[in-house]
Amino acid sequence: MIAVSIALLVTFMLTAFGSGSSEPTQTRPAPANRFLPAGQPRPQVVALRGSLRLQLPIAQDRVTAIGYHAVGGGALALEPVGRQANEGLFSRIARKLFGGGERGLTYYLLGGAEGTSTAALDVGAAPGTDVYSPVDGTIVGITPLTLRGQTYGARIDIQPTSAPALVVRVTHLRPDPALTVGSSVAASISKIGTIIDFSEVERQALARYTQDEGNHVSAEVHPAATLATP
């Protein structure tokens, strides 16, 4: 009986995992630029920070991939909603054997130099795709984002209504002209900008999992007190 049980377990593992490569085979979505222009996303929570719920800021059919990476500057760890697509072999075995995490969003851990591995959320889409507020709240800052002496869109800071001691920082986008400091925004409803092309500025880690350069909108959560200066 022991020998039969071992044989059945080996057969199950070979069937479930194929060649046993460290990453699952990915079916990559079509390039997002064919979908432009974009509309509002359906309300869908993509990440959590305590009681704060971050909604998907890009329409679902425009998203190329979702990733998390470490980042400095005091950004707080986020709790991803969904399943990690590039998880390790043992985690995949446990999930197959015991279930869980099969439905909903899939995301990738992208690494990073410092900080917790889920401090920054990247939602991929083509340049020009509309970006919507990830939270209900108030715009408390719109700051030009300058890299190597050039301005690349802006950093938008949003104070969430549900967590006023925090600030959600959104980058890699061009702010909507109608947006001003003091504006009220609603999650998944208020357009706050459009994604800009960062491929000439940095090598974007999300590109490993998309059919394009990995352009995306990025969101971080900070304690409000730490954002007094850019």
pLDDT of 23 over the 90 cut: no
Give the pLDDT confidence score for residue 14 in this predicted structure: 47
Q: Do residues 192 and 140 touch, judged by C-beta distance below 8 A?
A: no
pTM, rounded to two decimals? 0.79
| Lowest mean pLDDT across 20-24, 60-64, 74-78, 91-95 | 20-24
Q: Before 24, cis peptide (omega within 30)?
A: no
Q: At what angle do helices 2-17 and 89-98 cross, to 10 degrees?
A: 110
Summarised one tens digit per residue, pLDDT across range 131-174 is 999 999 999 999 999 888 888 999 999 999 999 999 999 999 99
Q: Using CA atoms, how far apart are residues 130 and 13, in angstroms rounded to an integer?
A: 43
pLDDT of 33 over the 70 cut: no
H-state helical runs in the chain: 2-17, 89-98
pLDDT above 90: percentage of residues in the chain: 64
pLDDT greater at residue 197 or residue 5: 197
| Lowest mean pLDDT across 39-48, 68-77, 208-217, 221-230 | 221-230
pLDDT of 82 over the 80 cut: yes
Q: Do residues 192 and 168 touch, judged by C-beta distance below 8 A?
A: no
Summarised one tens digit per residue, pLDDT across range 171-221 is 999 999 999 999 999 999 999 999 999 998 889 999 999 999 999 999 999
Burial annotation 202-221 (CB, 10 A radius, 16+ → b, else e):
eebbbbebbebbbbbbbbbb
pLDDT above 70: percentage of residues in the chain: 74
Q: Do residues 107 and 66 touch, judged by C-beta distance below 8 A?
A: yes
Q: Using CA atoms, how far apart are residues 176 and 56, in angstroms rounded to an integer?
A: 18
Q: Using CA atoms, how far apart are residues 201 and 223, in angstroms rounded to an integer?
A: 28
Residue with tokens 């300058």: 146
